[in-house]
Amino acid sequence: MLAAPEEHNQLEQPANDDIHERQAQKRPPQDRLPTVPRHQESRVRGTAAGRRPTFCTPRVATAELFKSLADPARVRIVNLLATAGEPVCACNLNDPVGLSQPTVSHHLKKLVDAGLLEREQRGKWAYFSLKRDAVKKLAAVADLKGVCC
Classify residue 136: in a domain, yes or no.
yes
* pLDDT reported for residue 66: 83
Q: Amino acid identity, residue 138?
A: L
Single-letter amino acid, residue 36: V
Of residues 130 and 50, more confidently modeled:
130
Count of Cβ atoms closer than 10 Å to residue 108 Cβ: 21
Is the pTM higher than 0.85? The answer reads no
Predicted pLDDT of residue 149 = 56
| Residue partners of 46: CB distance under 8 A and separation at least 6 | 52, 53, 54
Provide mean pLDDT across the span 117-128.
95
Q: According to the model, what pLDDT value does residue 41 have?
A: 45
* Residue 33 located in a structural domain: no
**How many CA atoms lie within 13 Å of 62's alpha carbon, on the beta-carbon side?**
10
Q: How many residues does the chain have?
A: 149
**Within a domain: residue 26?**
no
Question: Number of folded domains in the chain?
Answer: 1
Task: Classify residue 109: in a domain, yes or no.
Answer: yes
Question: In this structure, how many other beta carbons lie within 10 angstroms of the beta carbon of residue 70?
Answer: 9
Give dist(CA 134, CA 142) in Å, integer.
12
Please, are residues 89 and 125 in contact by the beta-carbon 8 Å criterion?
Answer: yes
pLDDT confidence bin for 110, thresholds 50/70/90? very high
Give the tens place of pLDDT for each residue, 85-95: 899 999 999 99
Let me know if residue 50 belongs to a domain: no
For 28, which DSSP code? P
Cα separation of 74 and 111, whole Å? 7
pLDDT tens-digit series, residues 7-22: 555 555 555 566 656 6
**CATH number of domain containing 104:** 1.10.10.10
- Is residue 80 domain-resident? yes
Which domain range does residue 89 map to? 58-140
Considering the domain boundaries, does residue 108 fall inside one? yes
pLDDT in tens, 35-83: 555 554 444 454 444 455 556 677 777 777 788 889 999 999 999 998 8
Instruction: Give a yes or no: residue 25 inside a domain.
Output: no
